[in-house]
């Protein structure tokens, strides 16, 4: 019993050692204003950013903005995963669907997604639905392509043996094709997750009255830089932890492959 614990300590120490450079950078940030290397108007000291961040998270306003952003991001991403994934698997499974959709996908995939921001605002205004549509449209194609490549790569022998063992087409789809498409599909969703944050924050910076992105713009315009840096850090941490949590979930979901 004591063996794992004895190994856990060096593991913890090496994990801490790994993040020493980040701590160094943060210390450098604080020192830069303490020793007057840069003006505090340009770079507010880390400690005052943290204290105004603490003040912020005790206000209801901050949580309203956070909830607005999370709502838009999660609904848009969820729609893109469901519809994009279904399209990708459909393209790999039924040839006519592939002939019909692949030129459209090929044409729209390289479209710089941020160009859609003004159009969705034109259609649906400045509220939630325009952001949801933007994130849905922008994140759908990476999921579609991941699902398509994954499902197309599923081994023909597996499909044939499932069919010859008497599985129906739908059963084969559910039990053979979809699971074997999983690794690439999940990778596509990871790209979509990163993209959803980019689209969410930039659309909120440009056109919105709610959400963390608009809060950053609002605080910056008011010259309240301590709080602005705090919200930027909050958004950065949100994106970082979303990715890490997703990675852990992805590894769990793919454990059967071991």
Interface residues with other proteins (CB under 8 A)?
18-19, 21-22, 25, 42, 99-101, 103-104, 107-119, 121-123, 194, 197-198, 200-202, 205-207, 212-213, 216-217, 220, 225, 228-229, 232, 235-236, 238-240, 242-244
Give the nearer residue to other proteins in terms of CB position, either 127 or 179.
127
How is residue 152 annotated by DSSP?
A: H
Residue 69 has, within 13 A of its CA and on its CB side, a CA count of: 27
When the beta carbons of 154 and 196 are compared against other proteins, the nearer one is 196
Provide the minimum distance between the beta carbon of 242 and other proteins in the complex, in angstroms, as a whole number: 8
Q: Compare residues 141 and 162 and give the one whose CB is closer to other proteins.
A: 141
Work out how close the CB of 204 gets to other proteins at its nearest, in angstroms, rounded to a whole number: 9
Residue 100 or 171: the one with the smaller Cβ distance to other proteins is: 100
Least Å from the CB of residue 253 to other proteins:
18
3-class secondary structure, 164: helix
The smaller minimum CB distance to other proteins, of residues 130 and 172, is found at: 130
Number of Cβ within 10 Å of residue 131's Cβ equals 31
**Cβ(52)–Cβ(227) below 8 Å:** yes
100: Cβ contacts below 8 Å, ≥ 6 apart: none
Q: How far is the CB of 127 from other proteins (least distance, A)?
A: 15
Distance from C-alpha of 254 to C-alpha of 258, rounded to nearest angstrom: 8
Euclidean distance between CA atoms 246 and 183, whole angstroms: 13
Which spans in the chain are helix H?
2-18, 20-34, 46-57, 60-93, 95-108, 116-124, 128-152, 156-164, 169-172, 178-206, 212-221, 225-253
The separation between CA 16 and the C-alpha centre of its own chain, rounded to angstroms, equals: 26
CB of 163 vs other proteins, minimal distance in Å:
26
In the complex with other proteins, the residue whose CB is nearer, 128 or 243, is 243
List, in sequence order, the alpha helices (H) in 19-94. Answer: 20-34, 46-57, 60-93
N-term to C-term CA, the chain: 26
> Closest distance between other proteins and the C-beta of residue 2, in Å?
30
Contact by Cβ (8 Å): 78, 135: no
Minimum CB distance to other proteins smaller for 172 or for 188:
188
Report yes or no: 77 and 196 within 8 Å, Cβ to Cβ.
yes
Closest CB 123 distance from other proteins, rounded Å = 6
């Amino acid at each position: 019993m004591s063996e794992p614990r004895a190994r856990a300590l060096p593991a913890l120490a090496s994990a801490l050692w790994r993040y020493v450079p980040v701590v160094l950078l943060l210390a450098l940030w604080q020192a830069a204003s303490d020793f007057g290397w840069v003006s505090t108007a340009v770079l507010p000291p880390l400690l005052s950013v943290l204290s105004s961040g603490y003040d912020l998270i005790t206000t209801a306003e901050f949580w309203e903005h956070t909830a607005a952003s999370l709502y838009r991001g999660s609904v848009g991403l969820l729609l893109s995963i469901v519809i994009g994934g279904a399209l990708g698997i459909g393209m790999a499974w039924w040839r006519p669907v592939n002939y019909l959709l692949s030129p459209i996908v090929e044409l729209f995939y390289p479209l710089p997604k941020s160009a859609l921001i003004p159009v969705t605002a034109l259609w649906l205004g400045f509220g939630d639905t325009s952001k949801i549509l933007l994130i849905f449209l922008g994140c759908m194609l990476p999921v579609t392509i991941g699902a398509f490549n994954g499902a197309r790569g599923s081994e023909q022998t597996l499909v044939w043996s499932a069919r010859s063992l008497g599985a129906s087409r739908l059963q084969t789809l559910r039990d053979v094709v979809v699971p074997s498409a999983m690794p690439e599909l999940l990778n596509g969703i990871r790209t979509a997750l990163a993209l959803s944050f980019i689209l969410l924050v930039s659309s909120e910076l440009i056109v919105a009255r709610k959400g963390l992105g608009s809060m950053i713009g609002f605080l910056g315009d008011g010259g309240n830089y301590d709080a602005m840096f705090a919200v930027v850090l909050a958004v950065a941490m949100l994106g970082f932890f979303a990715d890490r949590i997703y990675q852990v979930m992805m590894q769990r979901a793919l454990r059967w492959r071991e």
